[in-house]
Amino acid sequence: MQCFEKKINELATKTNHLLENQVLKPTIEEDDLKCLRSKNEKLRYQVNILKDSIKRLEQDSIDEIQMASPIKNDDKMLCINQELNCIFKKAIHKAFPMILNLTLSFQKSDFADFQCNNALQMTKLIPEKKKPIEIAQSIINCIEENELIENVATSGPGFININLKTDFIENEILNIILNGIQLNMVDENEDCGPVLVDYSSPNIAKEMHVGHLRSTIIGDCIARLLEFVGHKIVRINHIGDWGTQFGMLLAHLSESYPDFRDKPPSIENLQSFYKESKKRFDEEDDFKKLALETTVKLQSKDPDMIEAWKLICDISRKEFKEIYQILNIHENLIERGESFYQDRMIDVVKDLTDRNLLKEEEGRKIFYPNDRTIPPLTIVKSDGGFTYDTSDMAAIRQRTIEEKASRIIYTTDAGQSIHFKTLFDCAKIAGYYDPEKTRLDHLTFGVVLGEDKKRFKTRSGDTVKLKDLINEGLDRSMQKLLAKERDKVLTPEELKIAQKAIAIGCIKYSDLSHDRDTDYVFSFDRMLDDRGNTAVYLLYSLTRIRSIIRNCDLDCSTFNIALELKQNSSFKLNHPKELKLAKFILNFPDIIRQIVDDLYIHTLCRFMFDLSVVFNEFYDQCYVIEKIDSEKKINFNRIILCEATAKIMEISFQILGIETVEKM
């Protein structure tokens, strides 16, 4: 806006100069003046629009600050960072009205519960010269009385130290027991569309392998997380079930195994048949011609071809479902293969062609993004066939227009980053995606490595089948349980439940506990270690907490205990380790809020591990049960802390898609 005002002043000066300069011819002077006045008026109009827009934005910010409630009025857990944000924004606006839309940050501190360092950066935003320590004190002076903060003080060059009220902490812990763990982070008044999570994506006629593991586990976890905080979720399995490869396979089966419809092959045999058909397609011209003709029949929806194709899909689908069930993948995963988008691909090609968005190059139809540093999409091949680019473009169109998705998350390996960057850019050009209405995320991840730090393979160099990996995990977890003689303590049924919980839990947790952007080494020895940040350690920690509560032989539920403590106002946390554990538990909502935005699940895993460590510190120094003259004295305040810790761990495992056990 300053640039516009400067331009106006320059034009005004030039206009006055022309008016004073009598040497110019009247006709030229009149034309120049008209032109300059016209430009000046346009610029003034633009400046006024900008000023109005800025005023509206400022008013919106002020309204948001004034309307923000620092304390909740329902039974959901509180995001403490968010509430501190509201309290401090109001105080800053009161102390320094000219500062709007300042991003605040609150860190943990050795000297207080939280620390705010924003006063240091505010020195550049305030017209009068003030030291950071003076700015910090001005903010403190404007903080309104609230239910959250006990005391606030300055320290260092301009830090603000914040301590929470103990009765607030105590009340929040009781609410976990009385109301459960609820975190609705979705505005119920907003008409938001669903969040669509695209993950797993195996191929028909091929066995699932270790390469599918990360997409399946991470995608399922993200969907669970977003559903937990209140989003409506659509889980999509974009399988490879269409195209020339099916023409090859059907042609090969019809020729070499004509009775395959009556005697369906297993998935293992189907994969062998697929390899045979690919070899013939590459080497035999007659077979290649037959395969392409079969593909045309399939895409034309020839009844016989469709029936045979469905049979092959059913064989593969059965295996997928078995693996999903073992891995505890959510049952609402909707299969939408490339076949689902066949008619929509035709519509997309017509739409893009009609609007002259495609370029003809060597017989292909190409869609160029705005960013010419990345390759274009091939929408139609030179032989007239469609590509993965075509189906992905049709999928975005269907998901934004038909599904009205508010957010779409694609879960694939980092190798597809450029493809999705191009796809999102082209979808925006085509009008299939509006950033104001829909958020698109490509959730990338690294590859799974063997202990030799190379891509995880079998000894013969083949890709590791997911089914074989799971079976090995089950064998190893049973060996670990037997080595610890758990078969002498657990019933056969309990032993089997523990075996599966440990095997699947360690496979999933090992993946999820790593930063998804990095490659990670797959090691059963490390996964099954009961020390450190592993599923085994955390599952043992949870069963230990549950065992502590069981050993109290309570006459009533922890809910009733919490209710009585609340009614009598007798729930008190006095020991430093009690308060440390309670405060750590209350970090949970802020951890979840962070992951909802950045989709880095390992943050939750780290929180769970740290929570277990803090709990062990508490339990080592704070007796839950004291034996006095052969009698047990139960500390009910500490029982409530144990129950709150267990509930947080259980909901965290639920988000990760890991099943827990009572005994192991």
Model pLDDT for residues 618-646, shown as the tens digit of each residue:
999 999 988 777 788 899 999 999 999 99
Indicate whether 65 pLDDT > 50.
no
Residue 32 pLDDT level (bands cut at 50, 70, 90)? low
How many angstroms separate the CA atoms of 63 and 362, rounded?
57
Q: Is 59 in the same domain as 100?
A: no
Stretch (H or E) spanning 359: strand 359-361
Q: Is 87 in the same domain as 11?
A: no
Predicted pLDDT at 192: 83
Q: Is 510 in the same domain as 639?
A: yes
DSSP string, 186-233: S-TTS----EEEE----BTTS--BGGGHHHHHHHHHHHHHHHHTT--E
Q: Which two tokens stand for residue 33?
A: 């003046």
Highest mean pLDDT among 7-11, 51-55, 189-193, 614-618: 614-618
Contact assessment for residue 555 and residue 46, using Cβ atoms and an 8 Å cutoff: no
Q: What integer is the mean pLDDT of 270-276? A: 86
Backbone angles phi, psi at 365, to 5 degrees: -105, 115
Predicted pLDDT at 61: 47
Q: Is 93 in the same domain as 55?
A: no
Predicted pLDDT at 129: 85
- Of 334, 349, 383, the last residue of a domain is 334
* Residue 176 located in a structural domain: no
* Residue 93 located in a structural domain: yes
Question: For the chain, what is the mean pLDDT?
Answer: 88
Indicate whether 551 pLDDT > 80.
yes
Q: Is 29 in the same domain as 63?
A: yes
- Exposure letters 431-461 (e unless 16+ CB within 10 A, then b): ebbeeeebebbbbbbbbbbbeeeeebeeeee
Predicted pLDDT at 98: 85
Q: Which two tokens stand for residue 25?
A: 């011819």
DSSP character at residue 463: B
- Only one residue has tokens 């392998």, namely 209
Q: What integer is the mean pLDDT of 526-552? A: 93
Q: Is 33 in the same domain as 134?
A: no
* Residue 89 located in a structural domain: yes
Contact assessment for residue 24 and residue 59, using Cβ atoms and an 8 Å cutoff: no
- Of 334, 368, 400, the last residue of a domain is 334
Structural domains in the chain (count): 4
Q: What is the pLDDT of residues 222-245, one digit of tens each?
A: 999 999 999 999 999 999 898 888
Could you give the 3-state DSSP secondary structure of residue 617? helix
* Residue 261 located in a structural domain: yes
Q: Is 482 in the same domain as 536?
A: yes
Q: Is 26 in the same domain as 87?
A: no
How many angstroms separate the CA atoms of 363 and 144, rounded?
69
* Residue 73 located in a structural domain: no
* Residue 424 located in a structural domain: no
- Of 67, 97, 120, the last residue of a domain is 67
* Residue 422 located in a structural domain: no
Residue 42 pLDDT level (bands cut at 50, 70, 90)? low
Q: Is 500 in the same domain as 614?
A: yes
| Residue 4 or 408, more confident | 408
Q: Is 108 in the same domain as 254?
A: no
Indicate whether 54 pLDDT > 60.
no
Q: What integer is the mean pLDDT of 93-108? A: 89
Q: Is 157 in the same domain as 268?
A: no
Residue 207 pLDDT level (bands cut at 50, 70, 90)? confident
pLDDT over 90, % of the chain: 62
Q: Which residue segment(s) compose the domain that 104 sits in?
A: 80-164
How many angstroms separate the CA atoms of 120 and 558, rounded?
46
Indicate whether 49 pLDDT > 90.
no
Predicted pLDDT at 138: 95
Q: Is 632 in the same domain as 529?
A: yes
* Residue 282 located in a structural domain: yes
